[in-house]
Amino acid sequence: MDLDGPERASFLNHDEKRLIQSRLEADEATAESDVRPHLLGELFLDPQIWLLVLLTLCITIPSGVITTFSAVLIHSFGFDSKQSALLNMPSGVVSIFATILSTWAIVKQAPRWLSVIGLLIPALIGGALLSFEGIGRPAGSLAGIYLVNFVSLLFYEQVVDQG
């Protein structure tokens, strides 16, 4: 497998190529696909990895439930099936907006903690609206369902932003 290194990146200047190469050497990264046992040991002993695994599990399990059953939740507010499907459409718009926002944060190299908090706040507000508005107030509960979709982007943020 022939992977290009920083020396072939035409968009980098000489100093940037040298900096990237020195970081790769310090990380013991290679272009080869071999797995070194001592690196696997470091992986399993790294507390940051375990915290990221825990964060990912805590994010993906509830977000999957909410996004999968949001039409059923909307139906429980008293809407028929067709209305429920139509009222579920803004969830996709919110997900697209959150994806753009998350991607922008990664491109601008925002700190990971700031990105996580920025995506958690709308999701927490949405969860509170779902919990406390109740079936009798469908507008607040619908807003809660839409805002909860921000939480599914936290997984994307963690996977893509390895900074």
pLDDT digits (tens, 9 = 90+) for 106-157: 778 788 778 778 888 888 898 888 888 877 788 888 998 888 888 776 655 5
Kindly report whether the global pTM for this prediction surpasses the value 0.75.
Answer: no
Positive or negative CA dihedral for 10, 11, 13, 19?
negative
- What domain count does the chain have? 2
Does some domain include residue 23? yes
Q: Are 105 and 157 in contact (CB under 8 A)?
A: yes
- Same domain assignment for residues 67 and 14: no
Q: Are 112 and 102 in contact (CB under 8 A)?
A: no
4 confidence band (pLDDT: 50, 70, 90): low
Distance from C-alpha of 17 to C-alpha of 7, rounded to nearest angstrom: 6
Q: How many Cβ atoms are within 10 Å of 86's Cβ, its own excluded?
A: 13
- Same domain assignment for residues 67 and 23: no
Distance from C-alpha of 31 to C-alpha of 47, rounded to nearest angstrom: 26
Does some domain include residue 1? no
- Same domain assignment for residues 92 and 60: yes
pLDDT over threshold 80, residue 5: no
Higher-confidence residue: 155 or 50?
50
- Same domain assignment for residues 53 and 30: no
Q: First vs last Cα of the chain: how many Å apart?
A: 26
- Same domain assignment for residues 70 and 96: yes
What is the structure's pLDDT at 153?
A: 67
Report the share of the chain in percent with pLDDT over 90.
4
DSSP string, 78-89: T--HHHHHHHTH
Range of the domain at 59: 43-160
86 confidence band (pLDDT: 50, 70, 90): very high
